[in-house]
Chain A
Amino acid sequence: MEDAPSIEGNPEGPTAPQMGGGALGDRVYRWVTTLCALLVPALLIYIGITVFVAGWPAFQKAGTSFFTSSRWDPVNGIFGAAPAIYGTLVSSAIALVIATPLAVGAAVFLAELAPRWLRQPVSFLIDLLAAIPSVVYGLWGIFVLAPLMRSMVAPFLKHTLHLGDLPFFSGPVYGPGMLTAGVILAIMILPYISAVTREVLMAVPRSQREAALALGATRWEMIRDAVIPGARSGIVGGIVLGLGRALGETMAVTMVIGNTPKISASLFSTGYTMASIIANEFNEAVSADHQAALMAVGASLLVIALIVNVIARWLVARVGASAS
């Protein structure tokens, strides 16, 4: 380094700080972190590409029928993934329909209405739902929930509510099936939606609440007009986070959905999901065709998951932009 410029009035001048070593450290630090930051997205791209490439022969062989055909027949080398895609989307949709009102309702109660002594323990218990291993959910689902579906829920829907004539609730009830999987998924994603919603509700500033109260709002009107709109983007984010988990959930769903590759309007009928078809068959996929077909299912699941996430982020960003 050149001489440091001396400060006037001080004949000695301050010694120049040692910049060289620091600058090298800065450069190393910069390169290491840059590498880390690039490695992670590279991993995503690498995984995506390899899965896609491995599945490509199946896409090529089956063409669009891979997505439209309902015939999944590994023995004869015919692979139509429509039932699995349908099963993934429908079971996740059921999960959202059940979990969203429950989770948001619980979050509103805990964040806004619950007395303080109740808030902590109940929040903790809800969060604990996320700690249950999914195989335990599956076990409970198949031995407790599935018989319950057959003996209580189905008769209630069919005979008490007289919904048996609707295509969704028609046909025989085995126990395992689409609705059972949806209910299990709902329980599994509930803590995620609820935790995010609770956080964002509590993050709405007190000034917003007071503004509503000062206008003569009741507590309920305050929540409706000031708290929920302010938290809306985060609530949407929580719901989509739940959807993302539901789409990819494998173990519990595989245990309760029945694993039959068919599309049926009835939610009581058994089905398949993309995740469970992979989990069930990877072990016995000895032919190259079969392996490629599973990889293709995996690639499709990956694409669906990415699309859901992109839509979610776009939604949250859009709502968030109007909020700030």
Chain B
Amino acid sequence: MANVVLSATGLNAYFGAVHAVRDASIEFREREVTAIIGPSGCGKSTLLRCLNRMHETVPGGRVTGRVEFHGQDLYGPDVNPIEVRRHIGMVFQRPTPFPTLSIRDNVAAGLRAMRRADRPPRADVDRIVERSLQDAALWDEVKDRLRTGAIGLSGGQQQRLCIARALATSPSVLLLDEPTASLDPISTQKVEELVYDLRQHFTVVIVTHNMQQAARVSDRTAFMLNGELVEVAPTNKLFTTPSDPRTEAYVTGRFG
């Protein structure tokens, strides 16, 4: 069985007085894709954002419980959230390229934010940009216009650019928050194929409201409802023989 890279134990997340994630415990295994599904507002994005300490950047955001990354508690007293986010990359629902930067500089943006000691030498940046764009299956489409603005790309290309940007800093875990929610079907398919391939090198957690997508791309699936993690199981099992009746009701389309 694969190693557990990232895990949450007794995790609670709040927005002010709202209790968005309740006592969630889940493991994410090395080089697997784990999907988190559930109806809108069930807390799946919030759970994801607790894993790289993004939740606390929202005003009123608060987290209790443990998140372990290679055995280290990310919410421990000596942990710097900036470092956490360098090792656990994230891609959002809407593509967020930096509009004033070129394609190349967008991919290199995370390198620029690294500590001087960790930052790759200038000469390596172009190589890293190329590798990241290839990993994000975008290289062939943009290799002739790396110096042009990222804003000229289509929505699907922008999203793959954001994935390339997240990959450039060599994270070991990639968090994807409904990465295809704003994309057309063809772009969605490309991103899904990409997610499927990313498991060769990365541990991926993908939040999606699309059950078919979860079934297509993931090895394991977690089902959330009203802030509670109802069931985590191999994707095949969760969709065919779920053990919790609420999961069954959801995957068979009886609500949500």
What is A's interface to B at a CB cutoff of 8 Å?
207-208, 210-218, 221, 225-226, 229-230, 232, 322-324
Contacts and interface: CB of A to CB of B under 8 A. Distances in A.
8 contacts: A207-B94, A211-B98, A215-B85, A215-B110, A229-B101, A230-B100, A322-B149, A324-B99
Nearest to B90: A214
B218 interface: no
Contacts of A323: 99-100, 151
Contacts, number: 72
Interface string B37-71: 00000000000000010100100000000000000
Question: Which 9 pairs of residues, A with B, have the shortest CB-CB distance?
Answer: A216-B86, A211-B96, A215-B110, A214-B90, A229-B100, A217-B113, A216-B85, A221-B113, A207-B96
A6 B141 CA distance: 56
A208 B98 contact: yes
Given A215-B85, A218-B82, A221-B113, A210 B57 contact: yes
A215 B110 CA distance: 5
A311 B109 CA distance: 31
A216 B169 contact: yes
A215 B94 CA distance: 16
A215 B83 contact: no
B162 interface: yes
Contacts of B112: 221, 225
Most interface-central of A208, A211, A322 (chain B CB within 10 A): A211
A318 to B, nearest CB: 12
B165 interface: yes
A212 B92 CA distance: 11
A207 B113 contact: no
Contacts of B151: 323-324
Contact of B54 (A210, A322, A324): A210
Interface string B146-160: 000101000000000
B79 interface: no
Secondary structure class of chain A's binding surface, majority of residues: helix
Interface residues of B, number: 28
Nearest to A222: B113
B176 to A, nearest CB: 11
B166 interface: yes
Given A211-B92, A216-B114, A232 B85 contact: no
Contact of A215 (B57, B100, B149, B165): B165
Contacts of A324: 99, 151
Given A214-B54, A215-B109, A215-B110, 18 more contacts: A210-B96, A211-B96, A211-B162, A214-B90, A214-B166, A215-B113, A216-B82, A221-B112, A225-B98, A225-B109, A225-B112, A225-B113, A226-B98, A229-B98, A229-B100, A322-B100, A323-B99, A324-B151
Contact of B83 (A208, A214, A216): A216
B89 interface: yes
A207 B92 contact: yes
B52 A214 contact: yes
Interface in B93-121: 94, 96, 98-101, 109-110, 112-114
A217 B99 CA distance: 17
Contacts of B114: 216
B243 to A, nearest CB: 34
Nearest to A204: B99
A112 to B, nearest CB: 13
B113 A212 contact: yes
A215 B164 CA distance: 11
B96 A213 contact: no
Interface string B125-153: 00000000000000000000000010100
Contacts of B54: 210, 213-214
Contacts of B98: 208, 211-212, 225-226, 229-230
Contacts of B57: 210, 213
Nearest to A205: B96
A228 B77 CA distance: 31
A208 B169 CA distance: 18
Contacts of A232: 100
A220 to B, nearest CB: 10
A230 B150 CA distance: 13
Contacts of A207: 92, 94, 96
B2 to A, nearest CB: 25
Contacts of B169: 215-216
B87 to A, nearest CB: 8
A218 to B, nearest CB: 5
Contacts of B52: 214
Contact of A210 (B92, B101, B166): B92
A264 to B, nearest CB: 42
A215 B99 contact: no
Contacts of B113: 212, 215-218, 221, 225
Most interface-central of B85, B100, B101, B112 (chain A CB within 10 A): B100
B61 to A, nearest CB: 12
A280 B54 CA distance: 61
A163 to B, nearest CB: 34
Given A207-B92, A208-B96, A210-B57, A216 B101 contact: no
B92 A217 contact: no
A221 B113 CA distance: 7
